[in-house]
Homo-oligomer: A and B are copies of this chain.
Amino acid sequence: MNEPTTVAPALWIALLHHPVVNREGRVVATAITNLDVHDIARAARTYRARGYFIVTPIERQRALAQRIVEHWCEGHGALRVPERGAALALTRIASNVDEVIASVTRETGQRPHVVATSAHADRVTIGFNALRERVRSGTSVLILLGTGWGLADDVFSGADDVLEPISPPGSDYNHLSVRCAAAIMLDRLLGSDG
């Protein structure tokens, strides 16, 4: 692996396990999924995002996430698959979105532009191209992703923008896994111009 040749984009991702909704639309806290931790960390590292936050208010779940990260960054996993530690080193654990915003603000000296995401188009305020331009212009951007059936209302009302859904032409199905949705978003926002 060579050193990156340019400054990494000022983009952070946060995966929320609360407040999110379940299938029936009720606000719940979901459990951490091991592959969400790994896959999104690997995608974040590939696209040179600055950080990836695992967000849950449940202390035991935060401890679990911490153990996963430590296993791959310092433990047996780091010896066996060192490139996994390079990805998981981007991962941080937080209790809620305010903690995430505070952490990014401490790091950069300015509050990030907070962007909620959804599989539905009803609250959209910004498209991929416009957000890509904002990232390119140097704005610090924090993307919020929801587990379960998506982010709860409170998250949308607290965000600066809501990103358009990933909606391929002619598609009648919007049930991507959050892992795949995160990867596609990173590719659209930080990938090459093709």
Binding site for B on A (CB under 8 A): 1-6, 8, 23, 35, 38-39, 42-43, 45-48, 81, 83-84, 86-87, 128-129, 166-177, 179-184, 186-188, 190-192, 194
Contacts and interface: CB of A to CB of B under 8 A. Distances in A.
Given A5-B170, A168-B46, A172-B2, A39 B187 contact: no
B175 A46 contact: yes
Given A4-B172, A84-B175, A170-B6, A187 B190 contact: no
A149 to B, nearest CB: 10
A8 B175 CA distance: 18
Q: Chain B CB within 10 Å — which of A35, A174, A177, A190 has the most? A: A177
